[in-house]
Amino acid sequence: MTKQFATVVDIAKDIASGKTSAVDVLEQHLARITEREGEINAFNLVTTEQARATAQQVDADIKAGKPVGALAGVPVALKDNMCTRGIETTCSSKILEGWKPPYDATVVTRLQQAGVVMVGKTNLDEFAMGSSTENSAFGPTKNPLDTSRVPGGSSGGSAAAVAAGFAAASLGSDTGGSIRQPASLCGLVGVKPTYGLVSRQGIVAFASSLDQVGPFTHTVADAALMMEVIGGHDPLDSTSLPQPMPSLTSVLGQGVKGMRIGRLADMPDGCEPEVLARMDAAYVALQAAGATIVDISLPSLSYCLTAYYLVAPAEASSNLARYDGVRYGMRVETGDLHSMYGATRAAGFGAEVKRRIMLGTYALSAGYFDAYYGKALKVRRLIANDFAAAYEKCDVILTPTSPTVAFPLGDKTSDPLTMYLCDIFTIPTNLAGHAAMSVPFGTGAHNMPVGVQVLAPALGEQTMFRVAAELERAS
Amino acid sequence: MSNASSAPQHSTDLPNGWEMVVGLEVHVELDTKTKLFSASPNRFGDEPNTNIDPVTLGLPGALPVLNKHAVELAIRLGLALNCTVQPSTFHRKNYFYQDMPKAYQISQYDQPINIDGFMMLPGDVRIGIERAHLEEDTGKSTHIGGTSGRIHGSDYSLVDFNRAGVPLVEIVSRPDIRNSDQARQYVAELRSILLAVGASDAKMEEGSMRCDVNVSVRKPGAEFGTRCEIKNVNSIRAVGKAIDYEARRQIDVLESGGTIRQETRHWDDSEGRTHTLRTKEDADDYRYFLEPDLVLLDPDQEWIESIRASLPMLPAARRAQLATLTGANKESESVYVIVERGQDDYVSAVAQAGGDAARALVYVQQAFAEEGATPKVAASDIATLTQMERDAKITATQAKTILSEMVANGGGDPVALAAAKGFEALDTSAVEAMVDTAIAQQADAWAKYCAGEEKAMGALVGAIMKVSQGKADGKVVTAILQARRAK
Amino acid sequence: MTSQLSGMLDHFADIDKLDLSNVEPLAQPFPLKNVFREDVVVAGLDRDEVLDAAPAAEDGRFRVPPSLGLGEQ
């Protein structure tokens, strides 16, 4: 479906070989932005001039025979919760409107060193809280495949940018599914790495023990390449894993013969029948490639939503307390400090953010801590134990990424709980800190894409990518 | 027992048998080059907001990384306070204030790095130390407008984040202190220990050591009373004054039938009183939870033991050693002063060179106040001087004069100096003759002295000293007079 | 979807009923420990750049309205 656009691998190869120029590639992408960005609203900011300057520099370097990075000239978009020095970073919130970070996130630096051409900062649910990008303070992003529908969230802008051909790849962040679910809804590959594999330095924190950064791409090979560039230990992030970044591009052809694929014995309700049908097809395809299907269960799965909606808002309530109008961002001036805090945050934050901050504050407060946050952390232990037991019996687990295909704008905005249910399959991985990715696997209702989620244990990226590559071959 | 670092003050007893119960929370800034969680300089006195970085300012996306040297200093000070060093975690303490850049402070909560220590005070008094944990410092606010430079009535505030993120250790004593002398000794000794192990320069006047005092009162044997926390106690002297004031304030309240409200009070040094800052009801719920951006701190035994082995001799041990060497009491003021100045090694060197250690202690205390830990005067020359006095070749007064000159000149040969000044001590029989002459010539004074008027001795001694041109040793004169009177 | 919804609401209450007394909390996914930084100065941010981005600044410092009564910790 989205195979119409050039891949990262091909663009990088063609530019490096001189077959095309970085400037030409960029202009193609900019032309698509000009044509459709008005209706899609994937970007908070298109960085046209900087992109052109970077592309020109790449071409000059190649012409001069200088060494260039592995992604030289590849147009890439970044979710607008990643700090980019001197370039506005808003988290799609009024409270950070106009703020320009004085430093770059580590993943941004790594991409720059690899030679990417950044085309812009993409729209998101405000502070990454949401599953549809309808919580943005700057208007929703539309699904490029059907603009009456959401692209998913919270990284909807990054997904839409790649799906619409505005960028060859993009980065998103995933706390409860915010890369994988939009990938599924837009027909893309989306990866949430093992917690700690990709640096969080310079990523505006939502829930610190759950957040991870990962790529949106058209192909599994592109995702592997992006992961190799951004992943690996960062001394500026204390939760960064010390182990070396595993090679992913080299394992993609190894197939799945002899692998055990876990299938959830007790599936939650609420999946569209077409989604379930695609899942069945995925199992068949993997079996045909030599894998065996094993029934597993995750008994604590049904408690994960509750645990997540206590742990994440609790951490978020603390992470977002710094937006107080003192040092940067929006300030509503009043006569005294505390009313300034209140007025600034009331005006600066949207409804969903306020809701989660209140919920999180409550979950941590004296007298309620044990019953709410404390208990949620114990449920987190239970799901980690469940996964450990399951991974004794299988190598990866397959689930739908999302219970549904992309839904219409406005469909789930009246009741937050319906929106929260979008993440039923993605949340458990964040709680456990494991790896998971979504691979496009056909279409469902309304001809909209369906994604299959491959889950792997911590640092199981190589196994996960092998399965993903097999699914891609079969899709 | 008074401490050596401030004017001696004996706390007076509380009325009606009341007893005060005091605990101290002391925050010390660690002497590291960089901050606790980021690599900006840890320096006092720089231009505002010149030691800043994303972590210091709480910028979106900034992450903390723990300073290894700060951990080492925290372990040093914990071991010096006889604490157990254990695996520890960091927690977020959440509250809003303009000098809190993240709106939370990273501190240690239920698993701190150092626990269960103690410090000994004079008189074998043991003060327990509950914990000594790591945390980050806040920025600094200046309140503009208003009358007193304090926050109430100010027009606005200006915030400097240079200090934000500086490593602190908070040392919490158990409520074992029972009078203001002990409190001042505790703080002074803590300071000495911190300087000895190199953990902090502990200057209260620069804020690198800050004391909060918790005071309650009770009748002995009764349950602990409600306590009040006192802040803004900015010197060792103020520690004593604030405690004595607050104990009396609480007694007055209780004796007139009132109850003590648990609250935080502010010490006003110029007015010599405390007043309410905030009550317990106003206190924040800090919503402590484990800091997700940091990982377990678990120093291994090998590291801890190597730190322990590298600790210098602590002040208490040095005082004991000096006392043994000189025969002085280990709790005497001279021993405290010499060790605090770091001059005990020097006294030891004088003894090693054959000098009289007890006299050396006195000389160094009297004349070496400005000399620091490495006096310029050669220890062997001081040794010679002590021998001259001990052997009665010169009087004590003459020795003092030569000593001052040696110190002023950064050295000197005491024998030559004595000769140049014509100093010699008269032998005892010559002194006896002078005493008898004075008794004969000052019959009135002698009569009064024999009748018990000690002051009358002054006239006799004065006359003898004049006649001898200072060569009679005052002590010898006094001894002879006393002996004559006794006959 | 509706049955899932009511199921979720039930679970909010069901967490109360779970006996988790023998379960250790899991606050961070992996048991990392002893991650340190050497005590070496690294150049920080430029004051002017930072204060230009501040809502209000004066005299090299961030300016805020007065705090009434609360504050000094």
Q: Using beta carbons and an 8 Å cutoff, which residues of A are at the interface with B? A: 82-83, 89, 91, 96, 99, 101-103, 105, 200-205, 207-209, 235-239, 314-315, 318, 321-322, 324, 326-328, 337-338, 341, 361, 364-366, 369, 373
Q: How far apart are CA C1 and CA A272, in angstroms?
A: 9
Task: Give the minimum alpha-carbon distance from C73 to chain A in angstroms, rounded to a whole number.
Answer: 15
Taking an 8 Å cut-off on Cβ atoms, the answer to whether C35 and A432 are in contact is no
Taking an 8 Å cut-off on Cβ atoms, the answer to whether C39 and B295 are in contact is no
Taking an 8 Å cut-off on Cβ atoms, the answer to whether B52 and C45 are in contact is yes
Q: What are the sequence ranges of the domains in chain A?
A: 8-251
The pLDDT of residue A3 is: 61
Does residue C44 lie in a domain region? yes
- DSSP E strand boundaries for A212-259: 212-217
Q: Which residue in B89, B158, B302 has the most chain C C-beta atoms within 10 A of its own C-beta, making it the best mutation to test that interface?
A: B158
Does residue C56 lie in a domain region? yes
How does DSSP classify residue B454?
Answer: G
The pLDDT of residue C3 is: 44
pLDDT tens digits, one per residue of A274-286: 999 999 999 999 9
- Per-residue pLDDT of chain C (73 residues), as tens digits, is 344 334 444 556 678 788 898 999 999 999 899 999 999 999 999 999 999 999 999 999 999 999 875 544 4
For residue B156, give the chain A residue with the closest CA: A336
Q: How far apart are CA A393 and CA A84, in angstroms?
A: 43
Window C:18-37, CB contacts with A under 8 Å? 18, 20, 23-30, 32, 35, 37
pLDDT tens digits, one per residue of A73-91: 999 999 999 999 999 999 9
Does residue C34 lie in a domain region? no
Residues of chain A with pLDDT under 50: 1-2
In this complex, the residue of B34, B65, B282 whose CB is nearest that of residue C70 is B282
Beta-bridge mates of residue C27: none
Taking an 8 Å cut-off on Cβ atoms, the answer to whether B52 and C44 are in contact is yes
Q: How far apart are CA A150 and CA B103, in angstroms?
A: 35
Taking an 8 Å cut-off on Cβ atoms, the answer to whether A208 and B292 are in contact is yes
Does residue C55 lie in a domain region? yes
Q: How far apart are CA B363 and CA B115, in angstroms?
A: 41
Element (H, E) at B157: strand B156-160
Question: Residues of C with CB below 8 A from A433's CB?
Answer: 28-30
Do B274 and B242 form a contact (C-beta atoms < 8 A)? yes
Q: How far apart are CA A217 and CA A8, in angstroms?
A: 8
For residue B170, the SS3 value is strand
pTM of the model: 0.91
- Per-residue pLDDT of chain B (487 residues), as tens digits, is 444 444 333 445 788 899 999 999 999 999 999 999 999 999 999 999 999 999 999 999 999 999 999 999 999 999 999 999 999 999 999 999 999 999 999 999 999 999 999 999 999 999 999 999 999 999 999 998 876 656 667 789 999 999 999 999 999 999 999 999 999 999 999 999 999 999 999 999 999 999 999 999 999 889 999 999 999 999 999 999 999 999 999 999 999 999 999 999 999 999 999 999 877 666 679 999 999 999 999 999 999 999 999 999 999 999 999 999 999 999 999 999 999 999 999 999 999 999 999 999 999 999 999 999 899 999 999 999 999 999 888 888 889 999 999 999 999 899 988 988 888 777 778 888 888 888 888 888 888 988 888 888 888 888 888 888 877 888 888 888 888 888 7
* CB environment A121-142: b (16+ within 10 A), e (fewer): bbbbbbbbbbbbbbbbbbebbb
In this complex, the residue of B97, B158, B290 whose CB is nearest that of residue C61 is B158
What are the φ/ψ torsions at residue B425 (nearest 5 degrees)?
A: -90, 135
Taking an 8 Å cut-off on Cβ atoms, the answer to whether A102 and C45 are in contact is yes
How is residue B226 written in tokens? 């409600």
Does residue C15 lie in a domain region? no
Neighbours of chain C (3+ CB pairs under 8 A): A, B
Q: ∠A262-A263-A264 over CA atoms, to 5°?
A: 120
Q: Give the helix ranges, DSSP H, for B234-356.
A: 236-255, 301-310, 315-326, 333-341, 344-352
Taking an 8 Å cut-off on Cβ atoms, the answer to whether C68 and A381 are in contact is no
Question: Residues of C with CB below 8 A from B68's CB?
Answer: 36-39
Instruction: Give the distance, in angstroms, between the CA of residue A8 and the centroid of all CA atoms in the same chain.
Output: 18
Do B4 and B340 form a contact (C-beta atoms < 8 A)? yes
Give the strand pairing for B273-279 and B263-268. antiparallel
In this complex, the residue of B50, B56, B297 whose CB is nearest that of residue C34 is B297
Taking an 8 Å cut-off on Cβ atoms, the answer to whether A201 and B63 are in contact is yes
Location of structure tokens 């490593």: B167
Question: Residues of A with CB below 8 A from B61's CB?
Answer: 82-83, 101, 105, 200-205
B218-224 contact pairs (CB < 8 A, 24+): B218/B18, B218/B19, B218/B21, B219/B17, B219/B18, B219/B19, B220/B17, B220/B19, B224/B21, B224/B175
Kindly report whether the peptide bond that precedes residue A154 is cis, defined as omega within 30 degrees of 0.
Answer: yes
Neighbours of chain B (3+ CB pairs under 8 A): A, C
In this complex, the residue of A202, A321, A326 whose CB is nearest that of residue B61 is A202
For residue B212, the SS3 value is strand
In this complex, the residue of A195, A305, A337 whose CB is nearest that of residue C66 is A337
CB pairs under 8 A between A and B: 95
Taking an 8 Å cut-off on Cβ atoms, the answer to whether A238 and B63 are in contact is yes
> ipTM of this model?
0.96
Q: How far apart are CA A143 and CA A407, in angstroms?
A: 10
Question: Residues of A with CB below 8 A from B294's CB?
Answer: 238
- Quick check: A322 contacting C, CB < 8 Å? no
In this complex, the residue of A235, A371, A417 whose CB is nearest that of residue C5 is A417
For residue A344, the SS3 value is helix
Q: What is the set of active-site residues of A?
A: 79, 154, 178
Nearest CA-CA partner of A430 in A307, A326, A341: A307
Question: Residues of A with CB below 8 A from C26's CB?
Answer: 377-378, 380-381, 384, 431
For residue B35, give the chain C residue with the closest CA: C39
Question: Residues of A with CB below 8 A from B101's CB?
Answer: 322, 326-327
Q: Which residue in C3, C6, C10, C15 has the most chain A C-beta atoms within 10 A of its own C-beta, making it the best mutation to test that interface?
A: C15
Q: For A8-251, CATH number?
A: 3.90.1300.10
Does residue C45 lie in a domain region? yes
Q: Range of C47's domain?
A: 40-64
The pLDDT of residue B16 is: 86
Domain count, chain C: 1
